[in-house]
Amino acid sequence: MPALDKHDSPLPTTTVKWRFPSVHPDGRKYAVGVGGAALLAFIMHLQILAWILIGITIWVAAFFRDPVRTTPRGDKLIIAPADGLVTMIARVGPPPELRGSDALADGDYTRVSIFMSVFDVHINRAPITGRVKRIAYVPGKFVNADLDKASEDNERQHMLVESSDGLRIGFTQIAGLVARRIISFVREGDVVDAGQRVGLIRFGSRVDVFLPAGTAPKVLLGQRTIAGETILAEMGVDAPLVGISQ
pLDDT per residue of the chain (246 residues) written in tens, 0 to 9: 445 454 455 666 678 788 777 888 877 888 898 889 999 988 998 989 989 999 989 888 888 889 999 999 998 999 999 999 999 999 999 999 999 888 999 999 999 999 998 889 989 999 999 999 999 998 866 655 555 655 666 788 999 999 999 899 999 998 866 656 788 999 999 999 999 999 988 776 889 999 999 999 999 999 999 999 999 999 988 988 888 888
Q: What distance in Å separates the CA atoms of residue 212 and residue 44, rounded to the nearest whole number?
A: 59
Q: Is 113 a catalytic residue?
A: no
- Residue 165's H or E segment, with its range, is none
Give me the residues paired with residue 83 across strands. none
In three-state secondary structure terms, 63 is helix
Selected catalytic residue, list 101, 117, 164, 205 = 205
Residue 47 identity: Q
Class at the top of the CATH hierarchy for domain 77-234:
mainly beta
pTM over 0.85: no
The residue among 193, 182, 189 whose CA lies nearest residue 125 is: 193
The residue among 173, 205, 184, 203 whose CA lies nearest residue 30 is: 203
Q: What distance in Å separates the CA atoms of residue 129 and residue 199, rounded to the nearest whole number?
A: 15
